[in-house]
Amino acid sequence: LLVYVLLVSLLVRGLSLPCPAACQCYDTSKVFCSEERMRDIPVGLPGNATQLFFVETALTSIRSGALGSSTTLTKLVFLNNDIQELEAGAFQGLPSLTELEVSGNPLPVVSPGILVGLLGLRKLSLAANTFRSLQPGLFTPACQLQDLRLPGNKIEALPLGIFRPLRRLQILDLSQNVLTELPAALLAPLTTLRLLKLSDNLLARVPPDAFRALGQLAELHLDGNGLGELPDGAFAGLGGLRRLQLQHNALGSLAPDVFAALPNLTVISLEGNRLATLPVTLFAGTPHLLHLSLARNRLETLPQGLFVNLSALQTLVLSHNAMVHLPDGVFQGLVGLSMLQLSHNHLSSLPGGLLAGLPLLTTLALDHNRLAHLPPGLLDTNGELAHLGLADNPWACDCRLTYLLGWLQSFAEPLTHAQAFCASPAALQGQSLVKVHQGQLECPAEPGIALEENLDREPGKDAPGHCTYSNPEGTVSVACDVMSCQQLSLRLPPPSPPPGQVVGPRLAYQDAWLLHSPCGTLQVSVLITAQGKNE
């Protein structure tokens, strides 16, 4: 008999408890009500429920006393209903409530008395409603609040003292409203705040010292506004800030020390602004930065030394700019960098030492540029490189491609680069780089270039992988392959000693030339001394 009673008890615990017809009850604590014809709070809700949800019903108002009294209810959610009124004292009989959400409703006003009696409330979400303002004193009864979410409403302005009672608040989300200004002292009471979201508003400026009191703030989201500048002291007092979101604003310039007060910053996003130049000391005060995005700006180049203090940086995004030139060594200091995004720019050439000092680089995006070839040795120090984006460049599949093709064949996964194609010569146009053979890479010589080796080769052409540099007169030429220059051809002018002197031993000749070839430019200096027979 005892075994039978225990078995029945276990079965009953696993079944749903008795509930109103439009609701479902789970375990002994959770009640879920979702019925599109429900216009009133149903009677008969379990008195021991701890969590109560109303989702997609026809409820239009919550009257005072409609939820009765409960000392066990801790979480109450109204999501995507038709609520247009919350009567003062609507939740007064729920003293144990710690989490309240009323979101996705056409709620035009939040009455000051709706939080009366909720002394233990820790989290309040009033998201995606339609109210335009908050009444003074609204949060006075909820002085224990730690998490306040108000995104997706139509809030135009905030009363100056609205947050004064919230001395323990840690999270404040005001994103996706229509705020046009941020009063200077608005946030001063929130000294324990850890996360502040002001994204997707209409803020055109931030007052100096607006965040000075937020010494514990770890994340600040200002993205999606109309900020045209950041004033001096904009981030004063935020020494503990770790994440700063400034993307999709209208910033045209940045002061050299704008981030100087943020030594613990690990993430900065400046994507989608109007930056054309950057101060060389911009990141001098952010040595712990891990991720930096400067994508979708108007940058044409970068100043030498911009990144020297960012040895911890792992991700650098520079895509979708207007860069036409990068100085050799501009990435000096980025010894921890693993991903570099340079796609969607106007780069037609890269300096040979651009990637030197990036030993941990695993991903390099060069796609959607104007590159015809890469300089020999560019990738030699990047032993960890596994992903190289090359698509949508006008690759010239001639002798200048020898280095890149050799790297692809030795280190790269063919499928990764299948979308990179030859733009020239005509015979190889449209051919995938990974299908081109070294023997197909040829370079026609420019007129006037003397070929000093491989004389049995077709006139006017270097051997594959070779280039001959010469001066316009054709009196000086240097033959080089991918790795080194091996042969110098020099036609000296006849000696012309001063009048009355004859040519003798120790005649010296010295000159310098700037030589050109399809592969680039080479500077050559020569010193020759003629010696006597006995020397």
Looking at residue 409, its pLDDT comes to 85
d(CA 343, CA 313): 19
Looking at residue 519, its pLDDT comes to 61
Looking at residue 340, its pLDDT comes to 99
d(CA 445, CA 420): 26
In the chain, what are the domains?
A: 16-178 (3.80.10.10), 443-493+505-529 (no CATH)
pLDDT > 80? residue 126: yes
Tell me the pLDDT tens digit for each residue of 199-239.
999 999 999 999 999 999 999 999 999 999 999 889 999 99
Give the closest residue to 466 by CA, choosing from 456, 476, 478, 448: 478
Give the closest residue to 76 by CA, choosing from 18, 133, 106, 115: 115
Strand positions, DSSP E, 446-500: 461-462, 467-470, 476-480, 485-490
Tokens read off for 74: 């801790």
Q: Where are the alpha helices (DSSP H) in 361-447?
A: 402-411
Looking at residue 411, its pLDDT comes to 75
Contact of 29 with 49, CB cutoff 8 Å: yes
Looking at residue 418, its pLDDT comes to 64
Tell me the pLDDT tens digit for each residue of 242-281.
999 999 999 999 999 999 999 999 999 999 999 999 999 9
d(CA 490, CA 486): 13
Tell me the pLDDT tens digit for each residue of 58-112.
999 999 999 999 999 999 999 999 999 999 999 999 999 999 999 999 999 999 9
Which position has the higher pLDDT, 448 or 519?
A: 519
* Model confidence band, residue 532 (pLDDT cutoffs 50, 70, 90): low
Tell me the pLDDT tens digit for each residue of 292-346.
999 999 999 999 999 999 999 999 999 999 999 999 999 999 999 999 999 999 9
Give the closest residue to 144 by CA, choosing from 95, 104, 110, 102: 95
Looking at residue 7, its pLDDT comes to 28
Counting other chains too, the contacts that 120-126 makes at CB distance below 8 Å and 24 or more residues apart are 120/95, 120/96, 120/144, 121/97, 121/145, 122/98, 122/146, 122/147, 123/98, 123/99, 123/147, 123/148, 123/149, 124/99, 124/100, 124/148, 124/149, 125/100, 125/101, 125/149, 126/101, 126/102, 126/150, 126/153
Tell me the pLDDT tens digit for each residue of 478-516.
666 544 565 566 666 665 555 555 555 444 566 766 666
The structure's pTM equals 0.80
Tokens read off for 221: 């989201």
Tell me the pLDDT tens digit for each residue of 405-416.
999 988 766 556
Distances (CA, A) of 474 to 73, 279, 464: 93, 45, 21
Residue 503 CB burial class (10 angstroms; 0-12, 13-18, ≥19) = exposed
d(CA 148, CA 166): 10
Tell me the pLDDT tens digit for each residue of 414-467.
556 668 999 999 999 999 998 999 989 988 654 443 333 333 334 444 554 556
Kindly report which listed range (63-67, 142-146, 172-176, 488-492) carries the lowest average pLDDT score. Answer: 488-492
* Model confidence band, residue 136 (pLDDT cutoffs 50, 70, 90): very high
User: How high is the mean pLDDT of the chain?
Assistant: 87
Tokens read off for 44: 């008969």
Q: Is 395 helix (H, G, I), strand (E, B) or coil?
A: strand
Looking at residue 190, its pLDDT comes to 98
* H/E segment holding residue 11: helix 2-14
